[in-house]
Amino acid sequence: MTANPDAAPVPRLRGVEDGSALEMRSIRKQFGATVALDDVDFTLGRGEIHALLGENGAGKSTLVKIISGAVRPDRGVMRLAGRPFHPPGPLAGRLSGISMIYQELNLAPHLTVEENVVLGREASVGGFLKRRGVREKIRETLAFLGHSEIPLDVPTGRLSVGTRQIVEISRAIMDRSSILVMDEPTSSLAREDTERLFQVIRKLRAEGVSVIYISHFLEEVREVADVYTVLRDGRNVGAGRMADASFEEIIRLMVGSKMSDFFPRVPREQGDRLLALKALKGVRMGGAVSLEMRRGEIVGLAGLIGAGRTETLRTVFGLDATASGGVELEGRAAGPGRPWRMIARGFGLLSEDRQGEGLALSRSITDNVTLSRLGPYRRRGFLSLKKRAAAAAGWIAALNIKAGGPQLPVAGLSGGNQQKVALARLLHQDADVLLLDEPTRGIDVMSKAQIYDWMGRAAAEGKGLLFVSSYFPELLGVCDRIVVFHRGRIVADRPAAEWTDESLMAASMTGKA
Amino acid sequence: MTLRPKIKIQTVLNLVAPFMGLILVIALFSAMPDVQSRFLRAANLKSVATQSVIVALGALGMTLVIIGGGIDLSAASNIALSSVIAAYAINAGLPPLLGLVLGILTGGLIGLVNGTLITRLKLVPFIITMGMMGIARGAAKWIARNQKIDAPLTWINELMSKSPHPPWLVLAPGVWLMIVFAVVMAVVLRYTVFGRHIFAIGSNEAAARLCGVRTVRTKILFYTVSGLFLGLAGVMEFSRLTVGDPTVAVGLELDIIAAVVIGGGSLSGGEGSIMGSMIGVFIMAFLRNGCTMMGWPNYIQEIIIGVIIVAAVALDQVRHRRTA
């Protein structure tokens, strides 16, 4: 093997004729009542790095899932290197030379680098593995990527995330992929790993590989991409050369001019200081966070996914361990502590993962609403089921939850009604500090408006709300103040009136307010 | 790279940890004044080896299943049914070799059914094999009409004899079979595509499928191979008892699973080795043997083995945390 990576033999890549590597015309995809993609055209040139941009829910992941074969379009035509292309499944997509590199890596952690790279493609003689030539090829590939230092015999579970990504890319190259789709590849990478990744991507481009690059980090995108396409609400709203587009232009394309949603405004006054985070840093948080909130205030937490907002709420509530700093409630140290203790102190958390941890789906509405405060129904260790059901029925009526009765399992409710049950639990618990993580994600407009209304009422009663949302219009419509998180830190803190859609987006993406 | 020293400690720990347990157990009993003179004698070692054969054969298959992220609770029932079938066949006048083959195939068939149901019904292996545990045990009792099946003595009963027929064999033929198959399976796991795919499925099934591994076929295959070994274990059970006993080996599946787990197998899949499992088998066999020689009652053995299982898995956890 040669020591100089540049001199190493270049792996041969699937031949692609000049012109576009992939063409998509009039792609439409509908999930239930939601139109994820509507008449989308997308052209990927050979050997280009193509940024796919858009807000959450704009249709980016649906588009790349269609490319990979994981999702089939309802309508539209695809051509791969000029030939009609309709992959029936992800394996077919992969065999056609399309490799996906997800944030959640597709490696078997117990297998070594070598074993992972050749997984499913093992060379063998009579069932026995043939290793020697294979190892040479993997070494060549790693050297070509400029990473000959990666050991072949270490289980990938022991490598850093950045190194694992390089291993996945090696697998794609060994597969002779002509198209690489990378979904938020840098969100969990340190800066130098990102730099390494970009070098690898540029090398691939030089070999004629096309890369579809999805990222929320606009500055990185500008650094690495040649071309961009912006999706908004399932439509292709603009494309062009990266060099010709300004930052503001792209953001304007992503945000668009949205219809103003209905945000009921409950009149309220702000009271004394309720909550203070004192340089709080959880073990999963990127940095220390200081933040104050008054009674009667709704504070919005804006930022990209992974910016540290969810982790902050979880640390405050004691779900994640604290590394340093503390939480003060009305000027007194109040944690962090275990969740049961935080609940006793008046904290309530609504999880972003409604199905996973927000609700006990197979249990009844009554069980879910009363779970974090069973005290009122307890007498000598026994629960009064009747009283409990009556209380739940009251919340069902108050929040306008559409359900057959309080005894029915939550699993049978629509998303919006499930979310109202989750909110009802916090209200029933009579929490003073409501930590709401994406409370309106994936629910219908009417339910959203009702949840906004209840948030306003809770604030008017003197409670304080920390409101995490990735949907800026609702933050602007509901909050009194909005702070922006970027890579684990708060980078801006202003009254809601001083923010706009565009400025929130820009601050979230760049970290500069 | 900074990885280097870490890996070395890891590798050494992984290699030595299971041996340490075995050495510790042997050293402990060899030092006991009451048994030290007898414990390491050839006759005793031979007897421990022979006693280990059935659990060891079961553990060979169970290692594949556990590495692949599965579990087989029907192992002991499988052994019972296979031994009954072998006895039944020989009792019915079939040649012993045919009885042996039928016993093994019975085991394989149960494994095949397990694997097929797990992959087709998409149910967790715990449930499927727990059901099979009852089905196979019931079938064994049914076929044997709830009694032991007597069978004429044949060369099959020599397989587990401590004084083997050509004396140069030294060890019972069953022990040799166990050794040969252990080597074969170690090679299969390490040097074949099949083995590699078992690890991949246990480690990350979704990734394996995405990479084109035929997960359904591989899973059915490793359950079947495991069943074949249990069938052979059943024949050995028949060989030892000289009768087909449908009530034999109750609870043995837990011994088999314990051996694999003590040997470093992870119940969440992706980890385990034949060497480790065999060491697990012998740790338990030497413990039983030593306790018996010491004259310790049965309940002491049970407590000690219980402690060892927990300790072995706890040690495994520590290793994992270091990995993370």
Nearest-CA distance from B246 to chain A in Å? Answer: 37
Nearest-CA distance from A22 to chain B in Å? Answer: 22
pLDDT band at A3 (very low <50, low <70, confident <90, very high): very low
CB distance from B193 to chain A under 8 Å? yes
**What is the structure's pLDDT at A14?**
42
The partner residue sitting opposite B270, judged by closest CB among A90, A108, A154, is A108
Burial of A146 (0-12, 13-18, 19+ CB in 10 A): middle
Collapsing DSSP to helix, strand or coil, A122 comes out as: coil
**In chain B, residues 254-313 whose CB comes closer than 8 Å to chain A:** 270-271
pLDDT band at A49 (very low <50, low <70, confident <90, very high): very high
**What is the structure's pLDDT at B15?**
65
Please name every residue paired with A493 in a beta bridge, in sequence order, or none if there are none: A483
Average pLDDT over residues A177-206: 84
Q: How many CB atoms lie within 10 A of CB A346?
A: 19
CA atoms within 13 A on the CB side of A342: 24
| pLDDT digit string, tens, across residues A274-319 | 999 999 998 888 889 999 999 999 999 998 877 889 999 999 999 9
| pLDDT digit string, tens, across residues A469-494 | 888 888 998 999 999 999 889 999 99
B192 and A124 within 8 Å at the Cβ level: the answer is yes
Exposed e or buried b for every residue in B97-112, given b needs 16+ CB within 10 A? eebbbbbbbbbbbbbb
Give Cβ neighbours of residue B248 (< 8 Å, ≥ 6 apart): B79, B80, B83, B237, B241
DSSP A209: -
Per CB-CB distance under 8 Å, the chain B contacts of A171 are 211
Place of tokens 């929320």: A216
Collapsing DSSP to helix, strand or coil, A463 comes out as: coil
The partner residue sitting opposite B193, judged by closest CB among A124, A155, A171, is A124
What is the residue extent of each domain of chain A?
Answer: 21-97+177-255, 109-173, 272-346+432-444+459-513, 353-430
Q: Structure tokens of B124?
A: 């967790």
A108 and B199 within 8 Å at the Cβ level: the answer is yes
Check pLDDT > 80 for residue A57. Answer: no
Q: Structure tokens of B182?
A: 């252990």
CB distance from B7 to chain A under 8 Å? yes
Q: Which residue of B has its CA nearest to A117?
A: B211
* Residue A373 phi, psi dihedral angles, 5° rounding: -155, 90
Exposed e or buried b for every residue in B173-196, given b needs 16+ CB within 10 A? bbbbbbeebbeebbebbebbbbbb
> Domain A21-97+177-255 belongs to what topology?
Rossmann fold (3.40.50)
Q: Which residue of A has its CA nearest to B324?
A: A158
A110 and B206 within 8 Å at the Cβ level: the answer is no
CB distance from B42 to chain A under 8 Å? no
pLDDT band at A211 (very low <50, low <70, confident <90, very high): very high
B207 and A108 within 8 Å at the Cβ level: the answer is yes
B213 and A119 within 8 Å at the Cβ level: the answer is yes
| pLDDT digit string, tens, across residues A74-89 | 999 999 988 899 888 7
User: What's chain B's length in residues?
Assistant: 324
Q: Best mutation site among A114, A122, A132, A149 for testing chain B: the one with the most B CBs within 10 Å?
A: A122
The full DSSP string for A443-462 is --HHHHHHHHHHHHHHHHTT
- Taking alpha carbons only, the member of A6, A19, A22, A51 closest to residue A178 is A22
Size of interface A-B (CB pairs under 8 A): 80
B204 and A109 within 8 Å at the Cβ level: the answer is yes
Q: Best mutation site among B211, B217, B218 for testing chain A: the one with the most A CBs within 10 Å?
A: B211
Average pLDDT over residues A159-164: 84
Average pLDDT, chain A: 85
Highest CATH level, class, for A272-346+432-444+459-513? alpha beta
The partner residue sitting opposite B196, judged by closest CB among A94, A115, A171, is A115
**What is the structure's pLDDT at A173?**
82
**What is the structure's pLDDT at A359?**
87
**What is the structure's pLDDT at B259?**
93
Check pLDDT > 90 for residue A183. Answer: no
A127 and B193 within 8 Å at the Cβ level: the answer is yes
Angle made by CA atoms A39, A45, A50, in degrees to the nearest 5: 75
Q: Which stretches of chain B score pLDDT less than 70? A: 1-11, 13-15, 17-18, 319-324
B193 and A119 within 8 Å at the Cβ level: the answer is no
Collapsing DSSP to helix, strand or coil, A437 comes out as: strand
- Taking alpha carbons only, the member of B117, B131, B108, B102 closest to residue B61 is B108
Question: Worst-scoring range by mean pLDDT, A268-272, A415-419, B315-319?
Answer: B315-319
Nearest-CA distance from A64 to chain B in Å? Answer: 16
pLDDT band at A4 (very low <50, low <70, confident <90, very high): very low
Q: Check if the beta carbon of residue A226 is closer than 8 Å to that of residue A46.
A: no
Per CB-CB distance under 8 Å, the chain B contacts of A121 are 211-212
DSSP A409: B
A108 and B204 within 8 Å at the Cβ level: the answer is yes
